[in-house]
Amino acid sequence: MAEISYRDAVTRGIAQEMTRDPDVVFLGEDVAKPGGCFKATVGLYEQFGGVRVRDTPISEQAILGAAMGAAMTGLKPIAEIMFSDFIAVCFDYIANEFPKARYMSNGQTKCPLVVRTANGAGSRFGAQHSQSVENWCMMIPGLKVVAPSSPIDVIGLMAAAVRDPDPVIFFEHKSLYNSKGDVPDGEILDTLGTAKILRAGKDCTIVALALMVPRALEAAERLRIDHGIDCEVIDVRSLVPLDTKTILASVAKTHRLFTVEENPRLCGWGAEIVSIVADEAFYDLDGPPVRITTPHIPLPAADIMEDVVLPTPQRIMETIKRSLGA
């Protein structure tokens, strides 16, 4: 067991899989010799060499297209898109190519690849380098979508994503790279499509993702101390497949649902979860489900502005307190 950073967990997860399987290759801009824009892949080039860890031109379509062609013909590529916002310039592969190939070919074509990308706000980079765009991918049939919140989940879900036979979009959170957590020695392998109950509680269910997970945990702790409210906190981890069982079971127990989403309001993943709960657990609810999100605006760059638009522990706490009438 050792305490490592989320950033180092990315390197360790990739290294674990590259060591295990010679078909795993890694490509992206500045990922090899420079070790990545966020220094999340330092040492991979030295460990695995330039044939398996390759720097590319600034050509996001070429990066994802090449990953797909390699995956179709037998490799297991991991491709980096430096900032998740840049998915917009290669969205054809994410929306039209990866997820449709198997279906359109009636099962002939495979596409086992991972796109990993730095998602989310907190770096004061402004509206084109800070977005939470997991919902851009969640809406596409044929993709799998994960977003870990801790170092151990980064490694375990990375391993699961690399070994998965379907295309997986792997969202790392920029503001979590410096966060730390305990990680056991040896191989770590997790399961896609499983949410984790990080804190058990009986008064309400808070469902969160990525950077919103530590914020939800902090809010839950303060609600307990200050107001005696006992929150259950679920880290969704995987948007597709979605572990609705864990969420529905929690709502059946607590009778209240809150989602905490970093994305702008419209069509965030929380809307889907709320809709599923409304459809299937309406009579378990003692009050309306509540979504806590970033408002529907582009993200401002300045620290004081960015800080107020993202859901904070304070806002989460106040919203829950008010909703529960405490």
User: What is the binding site for another protein (CB under 8 A)?
Assistant: 25, 51-52, 54, 56-57, 59-75, 77, 92-93, 96-97, 101-110, 112, 141-142, 144, 164-166, 193, 240-245, 276
* Closest distance of CB 271 from another protein, Å: 15
* Closest distance of CB 193 from another protein, Å: 6
**Structure tokens given for 52:** 């398996």
Angstrom distance (rounded) from CA 118 to CA 132: 9
CB 79 within 8 A of CB 67: yes
Sign of the dihedral through C-alpha 261, 126, 144, 41? negative
Residue number with CB closer to another protein (47 or 59) = 59
Query: Has 129 been annotated as catalytic?
Result: yes
Backbone phi, psi, residue 263, to 5°: -65, 160
Q: Which residues pair with 137 in a beta bridge?
A: none
The CA-atom distances, in angstroms, between 229 and each of 149, 220, 249, 322, 323 are: 24, 8, 19, 12, 12
* Closest distance of CB 19 from another protein, Å: 17
Sign of the dihedral through C-alpha 289, 295, 297, 301? negative
Neighbours of 19 (CB within 10 A): 12
CB 132 within 8 A of CB 121: yes
* Closest distance of CB 247 from another protein, Å: 10
Residue number with CB closer to another protein (165 or 184) = 165
* Closest distance of CB 284 from another protein, Å: 18
DSSP helix/strand/coil, 36: coil
Neighbours of 300 (CB within 10 A): 17
Residue number with CB closer to another protein (53 or 217) = 53
Residue number with CB closer to another protein (153 or 243) = 243
Give 100-114 as a 3 state SS string: HHHHHCCCCCCCCCE
**If you compute the radius of gyration of the chain from its CA atoms, what whole number of angstroms results?**
19
**156 residue type, one letter:** G
Angstrom distance (rounded) from CA 284 to CA 277: 9
The CA-atom distances, in angstroms, between 3 and each of 49, 172, 185 are: 27, 18, 10
Catalytic-labelled residue, pool 129, 173, 255, 296 = 129
* Closest distance of CB 89 from another protein, Å: 8
Within 8 A by CB and 6+ apart from 322, the residues are none
* Closest distance of CB 48 from another protein, Å: 12
**Structure tokens given for 79:** 């491709």
Active site residues: 129
